[in-house]
Each structure stands twice: as C-alpha cells, then as structure tokens.
C-alpha cells in the first residue's frame, strides 16, 4: 500500500503567517495516463472533509487563491499564503493513483 | 448543487449486520464511480471501498474485504454499503464521496458495541 507521510503533525500559526505542509509518498503517484492523483482536503471541526486541491496543484472551485499545491512523483507541498481564521482544522493529503486509496495522517493547523 | 446524503447508521452488536445508503443528487450519478470512506472517532480518514459507474469494477480495503459489499442502483441514484460480521473496530463515521473525492456527504455514524 502507498503510505503518505505528512509533516508536521501540528502547525501553530498566527493570522497572516504563511505556512507549508509536506506530504511524502512511499511510491510515485504518477499514473500511467500521465496524471498525478494527489489531492488536499481540509476538515474543520465537526464537518466533512472539504476538497481544496486536486491533481497536485489545481484549486477546487471556490477555494481562495492563498492556497497552492506543488510537487511531483513522491514529494508534495500545500502552502497557505497568509493564514486566515477560517483555515483552521486538519489538512489531509490523499492519493487515488493506486489501490487502495490512502490518506496522510493529517496536519492540524492551530492558532499560536 | 451536488448533494450526497448518507443514512442507515446506528448502534449494532458485534457480529451483526447493517446497510448504509447514500442518495446522490445534482449530477448524473450513473456516470461516476463512487467511494466509501470512514473515520473512527478522533482518528484520520480510511478509504473503505470503490465501485465504478456500471458496477463492473469494485475494490475494497483489506480491513473490510469479505465482510463489506459495495453496490449501487443507478435508477435510484443510490450507493450502498452492506456491512456484515461487524467488529468494534468498524465503529466510525462513514462518508460517501465521488470518484474524484470532490464531493462528500455529511457522514453517518456506525457504532459497534454490545
């Protein structure tokens, strides 16, 4: 199975600070069709996961452009350029290049 | 507007069965593969199963293979998860989500306890 390792597990930030979350995969997430199926999700407390980014770097509709994704192969990063209060919660990377689909362990973003 | 609404959860004894449903609206359900994902209390997300649009391709997590069955009724825009031989470790909030994980339901709680 593909293991996704997210770091850090907890991130303390102030409003306006820029932060990054790393997601490293145990295998390449490049599909034979040329796509890399790596998504980022945000789960606010008591809510369902909300998709933020798909195919490594594409923003879901309605997601603010302070969110950005980058990376390739096995190494991926989510960046938030200027944290806002509504960004607090747990961030997950996930892959659906391979079966079984797998999720990272999560990164909890909290206010410092 | 895309909506996914799960139902069928509850408290069940170990070894018993339960069937979850997920009713979809706002998109052409029959064109898309669907997933079930679960989240144990205070834990992360775990993918459970996938079914293709026409039910030709089905995949399961090893933790549920042989006990859970995913199915769908495209005429009713409904996805199902039949869960048998339930264990305490199956206790979780169960979500349905689209193939690309771009839409998620609100989740339904399953508690396995005597």
CA distances from B75 to B4, B50, B63 (A): 16, 19, 30
Tokens of A66: 């302070």
Q: Is B27 on the interface with A (CB under 8 A)?
A: no
Per-chain mean pLDDT for chain A: 97
CA separation for the pair B87, B90 (Å, rounded): 5
B48 and B64 in contact (C-beta within 8 Å)? yes
A2 and A95 in contact (C-beta within 8 Å)? yes
In this prediction, residue A68 has a pLDDT band, given cuts at 50, 70 and 90, of very high
Residues of chain B with pLDDT under 50: none
Closest CB to A39 among B35, B50, B101: B101
Tokens of A49: 């996961």
Long-range contacts of A53-62 (CB under 8 A, 24+ apart): A53/A78, A54/B100, A54/B101, A54/B102, A60/B102
- For residue B6, how many other CB atoms are within 10 A of its CB? 23
Tokens of A58: 């594409």
> Which chain B residues are Cβ-neighbours of A49 within 8 angstroms?
45, 95, 104
Q: What is the pLDDT of residue A8?
A: 98
Closest CB to A96 among B62, B101, B104: B101
Q: What is the pLDDT of residue A91?
A: 98
B96 and B105 in contact (C-beta within 8 Å)? yes
Q: What is the pLDDT of residue A58?
A: 98
Q: What is the pLDDT of residue A51?
A: 97
Q: What is the pLDDT of residue B43?
A: 97
Proportion of chain A in helix, strand, coil states, percent, rounded to 5: 5, 50, 45
CA separation for the pair B86, B64 (Å, rounded): 9
Q: What is the pLDDT of residue B50?
A: 98
Instruction: Return the sign of the alpha-carbon dihedral for residues A61, A64, A68, A74.
Output: negative
Please provide the size of chain A in residues: 112
Q: What is the pLDDT of residue B69?
A: 98
Q: What is the pLDDT of residue B1?
A: 95
In this prediction, residue A32 has a pLDDT band, given cuts at 50, 70 and 90, of very high
Pairing of strands B58-60, B45-51: antiparallel
CA distance B8 to chain A (A): 17
B37 and B46 in contact (C-beta within 8 Å)? yes
Q: State the residue for tokens 């597990």.
A: A9
In this prediction, residue A79 has a pLDDT band, given cuts at 50, 70 and 90, of very high
């Amino acid at each position: 199975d593909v293991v996704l390792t997210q770091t850090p597990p907890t991130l303390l930030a102030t409003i306006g600070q820029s932060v990054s979350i790393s997601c490293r995969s145990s295998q390449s997430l490049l599909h034979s069709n040329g796509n890399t199926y790596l998504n980022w999700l945000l789960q606010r407390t008591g809510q369902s996961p909300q998709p933020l980014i798909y195919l490594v770097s594409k923003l879901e509709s309605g997601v603010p452009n302070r969110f950005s994704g980058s990376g390739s192969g096995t190494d991926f990063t989510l960046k938030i350029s200027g944290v806002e209060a509504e960004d607090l919660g747990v961030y997950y990377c996930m892959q659906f290049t391979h079966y079984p689909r797998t999720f990272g362990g999560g990164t909890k973003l909290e206010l410092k | 507007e895309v909506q996914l609404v799960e139902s069928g959860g509850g408290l069940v004894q170990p070894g018993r069965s339960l069937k979850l449903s997920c009713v979809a609206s706002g998109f052409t359900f029959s064109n898309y593969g669907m997933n079930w994902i679960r989240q144990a209390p205070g834990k992360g997300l775990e993918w459970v199963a996938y079914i293709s649009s026409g039910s030709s391709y089905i995949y399961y997590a090893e933790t549920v293979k042989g006990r859970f069955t995913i199915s769908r009724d495209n005429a009713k825009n409904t996805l199902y998860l039949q869960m048998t031989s339930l264990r305490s470790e199956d206790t979780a909030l169960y979500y349905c989500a689209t193939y690309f994980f771009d839409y998620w339901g609100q989740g339904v709680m399953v508690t396995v306890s005597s």
